[in-house]
A and B are shown apart, each in its own frame.
Chain A
């Protein structure tokens, strides 16, 4: 199976940009996803990127994919206190776009 790694914690000040990083091992991953989990809640799909793309922008969110280094990042512009949550990176294998492998999650804390 695939390994997906993320740093565990990130703190930023309100209004700054946040960058959450993720590395994965399976170069055949067709899709890479970012999910947000608020305390005691389920996972909310934030955005995804297809493997033949380098970048995807969606309002305050920018996803960058470096296939050569197997590195994925999520940038949140103008971070707000409501963005405080755990962010999971997930990869999907060629055998199943919805066969997801999750990282351990990065806990983002936004300081007012």
Chain B
């Protein structure tokens, strides 16, 4: 059972270009989360999605950032017109049940290995 798969692992973009980060959740998981880790900081929540639905995007910047989790295929985090401040590690996580349930309900959240975005 493969874990949470993210690609690309490393991405370099010039200012103004678009970045697309992909995340395939663990098999059987239909809940996906994106987190961002800025240099020397902890992870910050960005968005929580279920298949075809954005449930909570309270951590997403208002502009240039979007996320989707289509019925078929991976979840995509899209950053348009990237700027230097977007340089960070972007982590995807997935869980089998909704966000309300925790490990005692068998709902452990698993993280991918991250996608490191560098904007030059």
A residues with CB within 8 A of B: 4, 30-31, 35, 40-45, 48, 50, 88, 90, 92, 95-105
Bound: A100/B91 CA distance, A: 13
Say which size band chain B's interface belongs to.
20 to 34
Bound: A92/B110 CA distance, A: 15
**Residues from chain A with Cβ under 8 Å of B33 in the complex:** 98
Bound: A79/B109 CA distance, A: 26
State the 8 A-B residue pairs at the shortest beta-carbon distance, nearest first.
A97-B102, A102-B42, A42-B113, A96-B99, A43-B111, A102-B43, A98-B99, A104-B42
Q: Is B95 within 8 A of A98, CB to CB?
A: yes
B residues with CB within 8 A of A: 4, 6, 31, 33, 35, 40-45, 48, 56, 91, 95, 99-105, 107-114, 116
Q: Is B107 within 8 A of A98, CB to CB?
A: yes
**Residues from chain B with Cβ under 8 Å of A45 in the complex:** 108-111
Q: Is B43 within 8 A of A88, CB to CB?
A: yes
Complex partner residue of B103 from A41, A43, A97, A101, CB under 8 angstroms: A97
